[in-house]
Chains A and B, each alone.
Chain A
């Protein structure tokens, strides 16, 4: 089984994003960027499936500016064998990402595509489901356990009330939730090795995909500020205030 894994270069999860002073967008100047955490889990899962002998080949893909090469090198340092960068300076929105990935799937013919359930920048949570729709494939979103079983894939999913298990016909799409696995740390020798692994670059135009945005960001603002309240001395004062001041109990 060949696995394609999609990775996004996104703001580092330890960095707090801020709007630009004119509210025209998000201020990302000199902000540390990293692989989207959910995508790290996707990479880890692909590598584990390869180490278990289920996957025969793993390929990582990223869409965005030249700097996404670093993100792909990280995926390869973790263990992915080769990478494809779809290079563009456009703001590629989820539907366009899904279309680009569809074109790559048709070229690469993987049996499984693993993606993070959402990116921690725009928090859309769309691409995996959209790709599944465009390909007419089954989807196992918010996965916390993936078990290959011949021609099908058993996926345990994190749902609001607990856990749900679905059986997917292959080829299929899986999107990762937090507890699927814990991504490995990259070791220095592997970083060196990753520099020699193949990284091909194409453009959306090469793939025949129109990535023109459908959504326009009109405004990016700070959320309403919540004022800090008061400190209470003890539990008795707390309960009294909740009863008589806030009137919530």
Chain B
């Protein structure tokens, strides 16, 4: 049964989340096809054809697809989906924005944020902020799915040799236009792709104090995250937020500093391989999930840890 993966990209390169979505697709079939929709996205198509397990790369290169506007992308995907049974995208903000629109155009249910494949029509997904793991079966012939990237190990982006086929279909809805974006600039690794994440919570106390977290992150080559409490308090921008309402991460090492461990935060990081908690409150729930807990004042412990690392 044919599987289509919608590539995540910035018109220059394949986004890493695509590799996790392909991995999920390969649980359903021996090979998958990838749709690259964008403008001037030839380099993305070139990158996509080397991804392992990809048989065919479909390229829709046209101006209306430049900024992945859902109003233009959804009818394209719905049209291409005609030849496929499963249509998957990573559950990034782009995937979450466009895929339900595709599902509605196809008159099928969407299965959101899957963490497992139990069969061609049966999928595993977290509900209630990850407090319950649901196994759901769909009655629809076509399956529109978003994939929680941290649940599927990325496939290699080299070694494949897919054929590249242009798709000649331009949908310009005229309903919306892209006005601009302010992307957070950082020399640190991307939060959702980093091997190590150092996050700060309300205990950090101020935006200025986050420099302590950043210094440790830089020593470890880590991304910086924040709890919702820290974001709500204005210490860090929302795109740093780890949790059910922010980003879900599963790095090799997660260091939670001054984070009490609310359910909503745990939902965003509890699948990390190793969790370290540094908190002065030894009763904090974060210690119940931490592999290594250090009870102490973060303003002493974190700089001391930064100094110890070389």
Contacts and interface: CB of A to CB of B under 8 A. Distances in A.
Interface of A: 11, 13, 16-19, 26, 93-95, 98, 120-134, 136-142, 144, 154, 157-169, 172, 177-179, 214-223, 226, 228-232, 234-236, 238-239, 241-242, 246, 248-249
Contacts of A140: 176
Interface in B128-172: 128-140
A16 B196 CA distance: 29
Interface string B271-310: 0011110000010000111111111100001001100110
A95 B252 contact: no
Contact of B239 (A17, A162, A166): A162
A13 to B, nearest CB: 8
B119 to A, nearest CB: 10
A141 B101 CA distance: 11
20 contacts: A17-B128, A26-B128, A94-B100, A123-B112, A123-B126, A133-B105, A139-B71, A158-B238, A160-B239, A162-B237, A164-B180, A166-B179, A169-B174, A214-B139, A217-B134, A220-B134, A222-B131, A222-B133, A232-B294, A246-B253
A85 B136 CA distance: 28
Nearest to A99: B104
B220 interface: yes
The residue among B69, B174, B176, B179 with the most chain A CB atoms within 10 A of its own CB is: B176
Interface stretch (B49-57, B58-66, B89-97, B207-215): B89-97
B107 interface: yes
A205 to B, nearest CB: 19
A18 to B, nearest CB: 7
A65 to B, nearest CB: 19
Q: Is the interface of B mostly helix, strand, loop or mixed?
A: mixed
Interface stretch (B29-37, B79-87, B181-189): B181-189
A94 B109 contact: yes
Interface residues of B, number: 89
B28 interface: no
B131 A16 contact: yes
B299 to A, nearest CB: 13
Contacts of B128: 11, 17, 26, 120-123
Contact of A168 (B175, B182, B276): B175
A234 B308 CA distance: 11
A215 B131 contact: no
A153 to B, nearest CB: 10
Contacts of B276: 238, 242
Given A163-B182, A169-B176, A220 B97 contact: no
B181 A162 contact: yes
Contact of B131 (A17, A124, A126): A17
Contacts of B192: 160
A218 B135 contact: yes
B247 interface: yes
B2 interface: no
B70 A121 contact: no
Closest 3 CB pairs of A and B: A229-B291, A129-B100, A133-B104
B133 A129 contact: no
Contacts of A218: 122, 135-137
Contact of B181 (A128, A154, A159): A159
A129 to B, nearest CB: 4
Nearest to A171: B175
A167 B104 contact: no
B270 interface: yes
Given A95-B104, A125-B112, A129-B97, A248 B134 contact: no
Nearest to A131: B104
B135 A219 contact: yes
B181 A163 contact: yes
Contacts of A177: 238
A126 B100 contact: yes
Contact of A164 (B74, B178, B274): B178
B183 A162 contact: yes
A249 B305 contact: no
A141 B301 contact: no
B295 A138 contact: no
A137 B67 CA distance: 18
A122 to B, nearest CB: 5
Contacts of A121: 127-128
Given A165-B179, A214-B138, A248 B252 contact: yes
